[in-house]
Amino acid sequence: MQNDHELIQDYQDGNLSAFDEIVRRHLSNTIGFFFNITRDQMASEDLAQDVFYKLFKHLKNFRFESAFTTYLYRININTANSWLTRNKWKNFLHMDQTPDRGELDTSLENEWTKKELWDAVAKLPKKQRTVVMMRIAQELPYKDISAVTGMSVGSAKVNYHHAVQSLKDWLNHD
Amino acid sequence: MTDFDQKLTEMNSDKIPNLNPDEFLTKLHGRIHASHQNRQTGFAGLMMLLVVGFLSYTQWGVPIETELYYADETEVIFETDFWTIDVDYLEIDESYTEDLAYFLLDEGDFWDTIDLLNELTNEEEITL
């Protein structure tokens, strides 16, 4: 079985089925990441389409300097950041439309819903938001977060700590 | 890990249902194909615009010339068919008068010939 770098090399050599294999291999993880953020299967598939479309366009320039997963996480994070920012404005413009809590989150009996959580995450500063997304939606260890974002492990921990404090305040007081 | 952290992680541990990679790949390839076509259409449109723009600039093949809004010679301004007719008429009149002058000279009417030639010269000056 070929590893990611071998498949990318094949794709760069013109073998398009190698790209399909890359997609199949990372699809579940990518959609899972977006599903955790959007709570909507259609939206998560659309975002995953965006990610793999970007990948299709840019993978020819992949320089094999980092692990492919690191590269993919970066695209995931950028796409999720864009979606959260877009969604924040959408929510702002539809402030009068209060969501139906039952439809949004029926499986958990929390004081706050997932929507409220991710709306709050959208309000975080970009660095904190990125770390939170990777910790919560992707469940990545700090070491991997450090590799993807380029910040040190300590910085990632501090950012996560501040983010969690802010979320706790916002969600428990709103 | 605090309770809050634990709750955050648990909240996002849902598994995504009904994932069909083949369907996803079909959609993705459709999108890539559509994007490729859009790019080609955009490029063709841009080229068309450039060609139309260039042809408009060159007046559809007419060579670019600096237009003169003034004439070097006044005759160009007043050159009309009537003018041409008038000139032709003057030339005919001249040859007729010259023939007449030769006739008068042959007849020996020297002073009449001089008068006729003077008249012709004066008429030319008036006309011009």
Measured over the CA atoms of residue A173, residue B1, residue B7 and residue B13, the dihedral's sign is positive
Fold of A4-173: Rna Polymerase Sigma Factor; Chain: A (1.10.1740)
Cβ atoms < 10 Å from Cβ of B87: 13
Does B109 have pLDDT greater than 90? no
Cα separations in angstroms, A144 against A87, A116, A139, A152: 27, 27, 10, 10
Give me B25's structure tokens: 């790949």
What is the tens place of the pLDDT at every residue in A42-68? 889 999 999 999 999 999 888 888 889
pLDDT at residue number B14 = 62
Residue in B closest to A17 by C-alpha: B25
Residue in A closest to B7 by C-alpha: A110
pLDDT at residue number A101 = 45
Identify whether the C-beta of residue A147 lies closer than 8 Å to the C-beta of residue A72.
no
Q: Is A90 exposed, middle or buried (0-12, 13-18, 19+ CB in 10 A)?
A: exposed
**Tens of each residue's pLDDT in chain A, 174 residues:** 789 899 999 999 988 899 999 999 999 889 988 888 888 888 899 999 999 999 999 998 888 888 898 899 999 999 998 998 888 777 666 654 554 444 444 454 455 677 788 888 888 898 898 898 888 888 888 988 998 888 899 999 999 999 998 988 888 765
Closest CA to A166 of B66, B8, B98, B67: B8
User: Who wins on pLDDT, B48 or B97?
Assistant: B48
Residue type, B100: L
Give me A73's structure tokens: 């996480």
Q: What is the DSSP letter of A147?
A: H
For chain A, the structural domain boundaries read: 4-173
pLDDT at residue number A37 = 84
Cβ atoms < 10 Å from Cβ of B88: 10
Residues of chain A whose C-beta is under 8 A from some C-beta in B? 20, 23-24, 27-28, 31-32, 35-36, 41, 44-45, 48-49, 52-53, 56, 107-108, 110, 114, 117, 135-137, 139, 164, 167-168
* Inter-chain residue contact A35 with B14, CB threshold 8 Å: yes
- CA A165 to chain CA centroid, Å, is 21
Torsion region of B60: left, alpha or beta (phi above 0 gives left; psi -120 to 50 gives alpha): left
For chain B, the structural domain boundaries read: 19-64, 74-127
**Among B12, B16, B35, beta carbon nearest to A136:** B12
